[in-house]
Chains A and B, each alone.
Chain A
């Protein structure tokens, strides 16, 4: 009788709990990538030197994304109501806004708002100039907020339409007005449908903040690129910024998961 070494090995491996095995594979993979990069000439001491500085820039990324989310949610709700109303002016303008925003790249919208607002302001009186000439950071928040509001409004709309017609009938049967029905019956159900994909948009906003660097905002990616090209170590600094972005998105996805479970477990 021959004992196969491989069989025995796999039997031993199967004794280890699954999460441990998963983490082991993950660690091995990441170590392999790191070793490959070291073999190619990764400058670790340089990376250590700048990690602290680049990490100190992360709050701005989160702040811009949060501000954009705060702008996007009410705007998306307004757009949804506009697109589903029977007033043709509200319908038409909301649909137009969504179509334009969804039909053009974010980078064009960023530059457009950055260039067009001051140009628009230059014709008007003083107070308009004060209102419309914004700092690059505010421009970025505006552009990212508008962009994602258009996408989130589609999600809200799908949520609205997914609510059963019977809900409207039942609400009217107990004597609720249209606005009451919307506020108390339809919105909560639509939100339940749209919550997860909407929170995913927050992660996309985090990623989109990288584009803001082109307007001159000292955001993580822009700083990493500048430091790297000054020191001829572009790969290292870009790698740090990529890892930071990855960590940010992974953590926020985890947090979203936990919130999601809390909300839906009730």
Chain B
């Protein structure tokens, strides 16, 4: 892969550059990124951005990070449950099982998350006062429902990617179809499904910014309300964006580590 990468944009078509040269390119790339970041910051300072104000308000945003992480974690767990149930029924041969699963996927892939959240929090109590949810409950349920539909496809494809021979071997030693699924197929599918599921945790974390609109005091809505109060909307938006960016970078580096660890046991080269 490195070899192909080296060749794009080079003057000659197929001259594999040495890996040391490639490392220099990567180092320069990092330098360029750092200088770009510095350039952005100086540009905004020249434009009259109140940096002292941003530093003062940073702790107020940092305290909301645990709430964001917890909401998205609960939503991910619930979405995994929904996705697993829907994926298993989607894989069945009987239309009584797979049609509802298909309907669920198409319905919740099609409805925008913000519409779903508004229906759950504002709409349901309008319909019937019994259906009143707290903002956090509505947020978690909404995030789980819409991302569960996407996870269904992830789980389904990872179950299908387990080699056929595994199931046949299990049948040969006399396992029932339920035993085959739970003891042979699902443990192997889980390994394949883990990295994309971790990716969905990051997606859900970013989607959780929308939960602010139904009254949860999470990162984005806190930033926006502080900014509107002090007429410093741009500062607070930049700050909130930076916090989200850092969280995402940290989480995706953890995810990459996880992926590598899952791979090492199965790759033959190492």
Contact = CB atoms under 8 A, between A and B. Distances in A.
Interface string B102-122: 010011011111111011001
Contact of A105 (B9, B122, B244): B244
Interface residues of A, number: 79
Contacts, number: 196
B238 interface: yes
Given A92-B33, A105-B206, A168-B14, A235 B123 contact: yes
Contacts of A165: 3-4, 14
A193 B123 CA distance: 41
Closest 10 CB pairs of A and B: A92-B32, A88-B28, A85-B9, A235-B123, A246-B110, A249-B110, A105-B209, A210-B112, A103-B245, A103-B248
A15 to B, nearest CB: 14
Interface stretch (A66-74, A114-122, A136-144): A114-122
Binding site of A, secondary structure by majority: helix, strand, loop or mixed?
Answer: helix
Q: Size class of B's contact patch?
A: 35 or more
B247 to A, nearest CB: 8
A41 B240 CA distance: 41
Interface in B1-58: 1, 3-14, 17, 25, 28-33, 36-37, 47
B233 interface: yes
B168 interface: no
A111 B25 contact: no
A40 B131 contact: yes
A111 B248 contact: no
B249 interface: yes
Interface stretch (A19-27, A48-56, A127-135, A255-263): A19-27
B9 to A, nearest CB: 4
A21 B116 CA distance: 29
B4 A119 contact: no
Contacts of A77: none
A242 interface: yes
Given A86-B9, A96-B37, A112-B237, A250 B47 contact: no
A185 B116 CA distance: 44
B99 A22 contact: yes
B interface: dominant SS? helix
A176 B244 CA distance: 45
Interface in B166-202: none
A104 B206 contact: yes
Contact of B112 (A103, A168, A245, A247): A245
Contact of B123 (A176, A177, A239, A246): A239
B126 A235 contact: yes
Interface string A224-250: 010011001111001101100111111
Contacts of A35: none
B264 interface: no
| Chain B CB within 10 Å, residue with most, of A25, A85, A214 | A25
Contact of A234 (B106, B126, B213, B245): B126
Interface in A9-42: 18, 21-22, 25-26, 29-30, 37, 40-42
A30 B234 CA distance: 45
Contacts of A233: 126
Given A37-B127, A81-B9, A88-B25, A238 B115 contact: yes
